[in-house]
Each structure stands twice: as structure tokens, then as C-alpha cells.
């Protein structure tokens, strides 16, 4: 609001901060886009060492909203206070400024363009999808600015390749939506596709306003209804982009469509709150109890009932913004009683450590920052407004695949112990004993709460029941016509096979009579399955032609010809041609075989070839002709 969007009473709110402590090796190193913070009256923090280092004397002037963006290595690119304000009794007159990395003015918005100096979230910066050198600086007006003076949401486009790498604004004050005030957040598409949503609220209807941003630029905003009709100051989205919160109202968010689904209302401050880095918890100053810092578990079926109170202080500090840090902590600024005793008053930085763990820790006043006595009497609430996806912490589910060989029970336990356990069957013990019936599969999941994090496990159990391997063969009614036939083994996934002819597939194509066997090996041991196809005692004659051969001199299926099994042959001639009609081989006797070489003695390549054969059996008066395809495999 023009006087101040922050609550007028200094006993109204407290902010808390999260510290996210990542286990060594649990997460990949995130880019440093949020490693430098500039805020307040010349204040700053540098996280590039891994810990927050206090900066002073920064050329920055912000009261509530501000934003900054760094490159992937953590070097400042640009920052802003989002907008200006004409003279007011609380703040005086201030210009809206976009600064470059050298803390020089890149663009002066004055006091009537851009956003509002006293907007809770006056700005947010996101990269341009279409050009890695350009950045959108979205700005938001403060309340109450009436129409038509209301600036609403607009944007400035900065090209960092200009001005010797210091950047320049190439588009200024482009309107996106109005009337809108105070809250401004950016959400990245959760499916990995390039694109963002920039979220605000309509000043009059109080509904959500979502502007799509993709490679084509800023699209037409869409309006989505809210569960309540109330003024909004701060909008926060989870780092995983699947949840959004305003005024204690929690919504599921679908980035594919921009759809918002209301879940629950909790007693959380509408100014001082944040998601945890892994998005499981919402931390907030409790709106119904001054000084109480609480967290809500967003995975609970009843979110409101999941509330944990972390600390309660008798003093009534004035709290400012809360923001996840690149170290996984969440920081906030507040004026404690001790801050009021200095001249001019100071601002304290406080923290919550291990926000996604079982035992988060709150520490107050880890640093003090100076204020400007001429601005609100020595007070500010600002920390940079980041798109929180840059601080997301995600870990894969630890999956274990277990094979059971009988109906005996299997003990499941996590690889790393924790402080609390919750199994999918409701058990809360460190391990459970389960049994799965023969031939059945079951999955159990586990969440292990650690001091500073949690780990999800999935146990997939299959009981293969004492091997349970079977050998299947077609029913033979006419032995002479039985060949060729295929033997097929059915066994548990992961089984290996060793046939009596040396092959290792789960099936075998028979082209001759005789006895065959296969050794099936699983994690439960080995078993041998046998099959016998005896040659008919009376003998029989039938033609048979393989469909493939492998001339690799391994002694198995090295040569090719039509086979006249059990037949008395008077003569047989056969020829092999390439697919272009080139003669590759000719045989003039029933015993001749093609070894895969051409007529000039070179190796024929792997391909499909055409064969024709003419033969006459003893005692027959007519000649027979067969033709077909043969696959040569090398």
C-alpha cells in the first residue's frame, strides 16, 4: 500500500526462516542464481562460500519488495527495488531503480512507473527463454493505488550483452495486467518444458492472475478464482512448482494448465511464510498467536492438524519477508526489542535450520543490519523476492528390488537409520517383516525422517516360489511333420538360460530329432528342464529349410541349404541370389551347403537373400521346386 503494505502494528507478526541442511552427496550442486542478496538500506548477503557473509555499503534502497539475479557462478547480473513512490509521510520520495552488477543505475523508473516502492513483492526477475542474455524484470504496484493510476503488473526487459556486459533495458514499463497490487511470484513449469507463470492477484476481485511466459514472450493473462475474498500481500510457490499459498490458503498448482485447486486454510501469516526447500512443509508466523513460529506438513491428509509449534517468544517483534537461501536455510528479517534500543534502530536476520528434517532449529538475530532513520523511522521488511525453483532440493526415491524364493517372511529396513519412520502399511518401526505369496509381487514404501532431511524408500518384493520354471513345447501329433518346432521356457524375471547346444535365449528352435535340455538359473538356484523328440522308427521324409544362419565358424548353424530329412534324393540343385538378383551361390548335390561367401570368394554381408531349389526323390516321377528367403547374420 502507498503508506505501507506491512501491518501498521509492530506487535502483529513474526517471520521465520528455514535452514535447509543437505546431507553430503544427497543433492547435486544447484546453480548460483540466488547466491547474492541486496536488500534494505544498503544491506546484503553473500552465500558463495556456502555460508551467509554480511555485506554493507551496498547501493540498494528498498523498503519492502526487491529482487536480484546472479549468473550460474553466483556473480550479480542485475537487481532492483521494483519501483518508486512519490513523497509520503512514512517513506519520503524514492525512485524505482534497476542496477547493474557494478551497482550503477541501469534504468531509473522514477516514482510513477514500474512497480511500487511499498509493494510487498515489488519485483521478481526471471531469465528469458528465447535469449540467455536477456532477463525479464516483472514489477508490481503497491496498494492502495486507485485506477486509472494503478500500474498493476508490468515488465522491463534487460539485455546483459549490451553496454560492455553491464546490460541495458531494451523494453521498459510494458503493461501486463491491471489493476493488481502487492503480491508477485514466478513459477517454473514442473514437467521440464521451457516456460513460467507469473502470478499476481486482481486488486478488485482478489482472484489470481496468471501470465504465461514462454519463448514467444509474455502471453495473455488468465484469471483463476480464489477460495476467499481478501487482500493479498505475499504470494509464495513451492520450489517444486506444485503448490501455491496466499493468506494461509493452500492450493495445488498444475503448471501445464495454470489450474489451481484449493486444499485447506491454515492459521498462517499472509506476509511472513515460506515453503521448505523440498516443498514438504509450509513455515509461517501463526496468524492467531503473536510470536509463534509453526510449520505444516503438506503431505498430511489433514494439513491443519499437522501443525507443529517450533518456538514462541514473549516479545512481539515486527517481522519482514521470509526467503529460502541457497544453503537450504530460510532467512527472515525482524525487529526485536533489542533492535528498538539502538539509534537508529537495527534489523535482525533470523533463521530456521533443517526445515525439511525431523528436528528443525530456530535461531534468532544471527546478524544485525543498519536502517535509514528517514525511511519509516528506521525500518524495512525486504529480502529479495526470488523465483523459489532456483532453491529446489530434490532426491530420488531409493528403490530396492527383492526376490523371495518361498513363502518365508522378508525383513525390510532402510539403508540409513533415521529419527522417525512411516511405512505404507502404517508401521512406525525401523523395520518390518512381510511375506508375499508364491508368484506374487508387492511394494512397500517408507519415509525416514532424519534430523535435517527425509529419505523415501521403495521396496519391490517378488516371490518366485522355488524357481517355478517350466518348459513348454507344442503337442506333436505327426512326428514326421513335427519339425521345426520351438521350445519356450517360462521363468521369473532376471533368470538366465543355458541350452544343451550352447545357446542362452529363453527359447530354442529345433530342426532335428533328439534330446534337449536347458539349465534355468535364478537368484534362488538352478534347475534343469528336459525335452526329447525321438526320430520315428519307420523313418519319414520331409523337406525343411531354415530361415537364418550364422557363418561365424563357431560350429553352430554355420552353413545353409534346404534340408530333405529322411529322404532318398535322386538329385538336388539350389541357388542363392541377392535382393538385387545377383547370383551368390550354386549347389548341385543334396550335400552342398552355402558358407556365406560369394562366387568370387568374398564374404556376403548380413542381409536377406532369396533361394530356389529343385529336387527329385527316388521313385518319384515329378520334380519338386521350393523357394524362399534366408537371413544371413554375422
pLDDT at site 20: 28
| Whole-number average pLDDT of the chain | 89
Map grid coordinates 539502538 to a residue. 342
In angstroms, the CA 280 to CA 300 distance is 9
The grid coordinates of residue 196 equal 513460467
Question: Is residue 150 in some structural domain?
Answer: yes
Same domain for 561 and 501: no
For 344, counting Cβ atoms within 10 Å of its Cβ (0-12 exposed, 13-18 middle, 19+ buried), the class is middle
Mean predicted confidence (pLDDT) in 8-20 = 27
pLDDT at site 311: 82
Which CATH number is 507's domain given? Answer: 2.60.40
- The per-residue pLDDT for range 474-518, each reduced to its tens digit, is 888 777 777 888 999 988 778 899 999 999 999 999 988 889 999
Cα-Cα end-to-end distance for the chain:
78
Torsion angle of the four alpha carbons 287, 288, 289, 293, in this order, in degrees rounded to the nearest 10: -40
The structural domain count of the chain equals: 4
Domain range for residue 384? 36-391
Same domain for 597 and 487: no
Map grid coordinates 493488481 to a residue. 180
Q: By the 8 A CB rule, do 379 and 371 touch?
A: yes
pLDDT band at residue 590, thresholds of 50, 70 and 90?
Answer: confident
In angstroms, the CA 265 to CA 276 distance is 18
Same domain for 445 and 424: yes
Picking from 562, 632, 583, the residue whose alpha carbon sits closest to that of residue 604 is 632
Domain-terminating residue out of 417, 436, 463: 463
Which CATH number is 448's domain given? Answer: 2.60.40.10
In angstroms, the CA 219 to CA 361 distance is 42
Does the pLDDT of residue 372 top 90, yes or no? yes
Question: Is residue 586 in some structural domain?
Answer: yes
Picking from 625, 626, 617, the residue whose alpha carbon sits closest to that of residue 540 is 617
Same domain for 480 and 570: no
The grid coordinates of residue 364 equal 534468532
pTM attached to this predicted model? 0.70
Question: Is residue 26 in some structural domain?
Answer: no
pLDDT at site 591: 86
pLDDT band at residue 11, thresholds of 50, 70 and 90?
Answer: very low
Same domain for 405 and 387: no
In angstroms, the CA 413 to CA 416 distance is 9
Same domain for 188 and 128: yes
pLDDT at site 67: 98
Find which of 438-442, 589-593, 628-632 is predicted with most confidence, using mean pLDDT: 628-632
Does the pLDDT of residue 429 top 90, yes or no? yes
Same domain for 423 and 319: no
Instruction: Report phi then psi at 340, rounded to 5.
Output: -70, -20
Question: Is residue 29 in some structural domain?
Answer: no
Picking from 243, 204, 212, 504, the residue whose alpha carbon sits closest to that of residue 392 is 243
Same domain for 474 and 365: no
pLDDT at site 13: 28
Question: Is residue 21 in some structural domain?
Answer: no
- The per-residue pLDDT for range 396-421, each reduced to its tens digit, is 899 999 877 766 788 999 988 899 99
Same domain for 440 and 491: no
Does the pLDDT of residue 449 top 70, yes or no? yes
For the ranges 20-29, 456-465, 526-535, the lowest mean pLDDT is seen at 20-29
Does the pLDDT of residue 303 top 90, yes or no? yes
Cβ contacts of residue 625 below 8 Å, gap of 6+? 612, 613, 614
In angstroms, the CA 50 to CA 48 distance is 5
Does the pLDDT of residue 46 top 80, yes or no? yes
Same domain for 63 and 198: yes
For the ranges 10-19, 84-93, 217-226, the lowest mean pLDDT is seen at 10-19
pLDDT band at residue 581, thresholds of 50, 70 and 90?
Answer: very high
Does the pLDDT of residue 4 top 50, yes or no? no
Domain-terminating residue out of 441, 463, 485: 463
Question: Is residue 563 in some structural domain?
Answer: yes
- The per-residue pLDDT for range 319-343, each reduced to its tens digit, is 899 999 999 999 999 998 899 889 8
Question: Is residue 2 in some structural domain?
Answer: no
Same domain for 255 and 199: yes
- The per-residue pLDDT for range 149-203, each reduced to its tens digit, is 789 999 999 999 999 999 999 999 999 999 999 999 999 998 888 999 999 999 9
Question: Is residue 234 in some structural domain?
Answer: yes
Mean predicted confidence (pLDDT) in 131-159 = 91
Picking from 271, 3, 9, 247, the residue whose alpha carbon sits closest to that of residue 145 is 3
Strand ranges inside 453-546, DSSP E: 454-463, 470-472, 485-490, 496-499, 507-510, 514-522, 525-533, 542-544
Does the pLDDT of residue 374 top 80, yes or no? yes
Same domain for 409 and 364: no
Does the pLDDT of residue 28 top 80, yes or no? no
In angstroms, the CA 5 to CA 118 distance is 6
Q: By the 8 A CB rule, do 489 and 530 touch?
A: no
Does the pLDDT of residue 316 top 70, yes or no? no
pLDDT at site 466: 67
For the chain, percent of residues with pLDDT exceeding 90:
69
Mean predicted confidence (pLDDT) in 79-93 = 90
Cβ contacts of residue 490 below 8 Å, gap of 6+? 469, 470, 472
Taking CB atoms within 8 Å and a gap of at least 24, the contacts of 537-541 are 539/566, 540/479, 540/480, 540/566, 541/480, 541/565, 541/566, 541/567, 541/568, 541/617
User: What b/e sequence results for 400-420 when a residue is b if at least 16 CB atoms lie within 10 Å of its CB, and e otherwise?
Assistant: eebbbbeeeebebbbeeebee
pLDDT band at residue 289, thresholds of 50, 70 and 90?
Answer: low
**Strand, coil or helix: what is 178?**
coil
Picking from 574, 565, 560, 566, the residue whose alpha carbon sits closest to that of residue 623 is 574
Domain-terminating residue out of 439, 463, 487: 463
pLDDT at site 523: 74
Which CATH number is 83's domain given? Answer: 2.130.10.10
- The per-residue pLDDT for range 251-273, each reduced to its tens digit, is 999 999 999 999 999 999 999 99
**Beta strand 398-404 with 454-463: parallel, antiparallel or unpaired?**
parallel
- The per-residue pLDDT for range 206-226, each reduced to its tens digit, is 999 999 999 999 999 999 999
Amino acid at each position: 500500500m502507498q503508506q505501507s503494505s506491512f501491518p501498521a502494528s509492530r506487535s502483529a507478526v513474526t517471520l521465520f526462516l528455514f535452514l535447509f541442511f543437505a546431507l553430503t552427496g544427497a543433492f547435486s550442486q544447484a546453480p548460483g542464481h540466488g547466491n547474492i542478496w541486496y536488500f534494505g538500506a544498503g544491506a546484503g548477503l553473500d552465500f558463495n562460500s556456502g555460508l551467509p557473509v554480511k555485506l554493507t555499503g551496498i547501493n540498494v534502497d528498498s523498503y519492502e519488495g526487491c529482487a536480484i539475479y546472479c549468473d550460474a557462478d553466483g556473480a550479480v547480473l542485475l537487481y532492483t527495488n521494483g519501483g518508486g513512490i512519490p513523497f509520503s509521510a512514512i517513506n519520503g520520495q524514492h525512485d524505482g531503480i534497476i542496477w547493474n552488477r557494478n551497482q550503477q543505475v541501469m534504468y531509473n523508473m522514477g516514482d510513477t512507473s514500474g512497480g511500487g516502492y511499498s509493494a510487498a513483492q515489488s519485483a521478481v526477475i526471471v531469465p528469458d527463454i528465447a535469449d540467455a542474455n536477456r532477463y525479464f524484470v516483472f514489477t508490481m504496484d503497491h496498494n492502495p493505488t486507485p485506477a486509472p493510476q494503478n500500474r498493476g503488473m508490468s515488465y522491463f526487459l534487460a539485455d546483459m550483452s549490451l553496454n560492455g556486459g553491464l546490460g541495458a533495458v531494451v523494453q521498459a514499463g510494458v503493461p501486463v495486467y491491471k489493476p493488481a497490487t502487492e503480491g508477485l511470484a514466478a513459477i517454473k513449469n514442473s514437467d521440464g518444458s521451457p516456460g513460467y507463470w507469473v502470478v499476481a492477484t486482481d486488486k478488485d476481485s482478489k482472484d489470481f492472475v496468471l501470465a504465461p511466459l514462454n519463448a514467444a514472450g509474455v502471453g495473455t493473462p488468465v484469471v483463476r478464482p480464489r477460495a476467499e475474498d481478501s487482500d493479498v500481500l505475499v504470494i509464495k510457490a513451492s520450489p517444486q512448482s506444485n503448490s501455491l499459498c496466499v493468506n494461509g490458503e493452500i492450493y495445488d498448482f498444475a503448471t501445464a494448465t495454470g489450474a489451481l485447486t484449493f486444499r485447506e486454510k491454515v492459521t498462517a501469516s499472509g506476509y511472513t511464510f515460506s515453503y521448505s526447500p523440498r516443498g514438504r512443509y509450509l513455515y509461517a508466523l501463526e496468524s492467531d498467536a503473536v510470536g509463534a513460529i509453526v510449520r505444516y506438513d503438506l503431505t498430511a491428509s489433514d494439513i491443519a492438524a499437522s501443525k507443529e509449534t517450533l518456538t514462541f517468544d514473549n516479545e512481539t517483534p515486527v517481522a519482514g519477508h521470509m526467503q529460502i537461501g541457497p544453503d537450504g536455510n530460510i532467512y527472515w528479517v525482524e525487529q526485536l526489542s533489542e533492535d528498538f534500543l539502538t539509534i537508529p534502530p537495527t534489523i535482525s536476520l533470523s533463521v530456521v535450520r533443517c526445515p525439511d528434517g525431523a528436528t528443525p532449529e530456530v535461531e534468532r538475530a544471527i546478524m544485525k543490519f543498519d536502517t535509514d532513520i528517514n525511511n519509516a523511522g528506521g525500518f524495512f521488511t525486504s529480502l529479495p523476492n526470488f523465483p523459489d525453483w532456483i532453491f529446489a532440493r530434490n532426491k530420488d526415491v531409493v528403490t530396492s528390488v527383492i526376490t523371495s524364493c518361498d513363502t518365508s517372511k522378508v525383513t525390510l529396513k532402510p539403508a540409513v537409520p533415521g529419527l522417525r519412520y512411516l511405512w505404507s502399511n502404517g508401521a512406525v518401526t525401523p523395520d518390518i517383516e512381510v511375506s508375499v505369496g508364491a508368484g506374487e509381487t508387492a511394494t512397500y514404501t517408507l519415509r525416514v525422517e532424519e534430523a535435517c532431511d527425509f529419505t523415501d524408500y521403495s521396496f519391490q518384493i517378488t516371490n518366485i516360489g522355488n524357481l517355478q520354471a517350466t518348459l513348454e513345447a507344442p503337442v506333436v501329433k505327426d512326428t514326421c511333420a513335427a519339425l521345426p518346432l520351438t521350445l519356450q521356457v517360462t521363468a521369473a524375471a532376471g533368470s538366465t538360460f543355458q541350452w544343451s547346444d550352447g545357446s542362452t535365449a529363453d527359447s530354442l528352435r529345433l530342426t532335428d530329432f533328439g534330446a534337449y535340455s536347458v539349465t534355468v538359473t535364478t537368484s534362488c538356484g538352478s534347475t534343469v528342464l528336459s525335452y526329447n523328440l525321438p526320430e520315428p522308427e519307420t523313418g519319414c521324409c520331409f523337406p525343411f529349410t531354415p530361415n537364418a544362419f550364422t557363418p561365424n565358424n563357431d560350429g553352430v548353424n554355420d552353413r545353409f541349404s534346404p534340408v530333405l530329412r529322411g529322404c532318398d534324393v535322386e538329385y538336388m540343385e539350389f541357388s542363392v541370389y541377392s535382393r538385387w538378383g545377383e547370383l551368390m551361390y550354386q549347389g548341385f548335390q543334396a550335400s552342398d551347403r552355402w558358407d556365406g561367401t560369394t562366387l568370387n570368394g568374398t564374404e556376403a554381408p548380413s542381409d536377406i537373400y532369396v533361394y530356389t531349389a529343385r529336387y527329385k526323390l527316388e521313385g518319384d516321377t515329378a520334380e519338386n521346386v521350393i523357394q524362399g528367403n534366408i537371413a544371413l547374420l554375422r
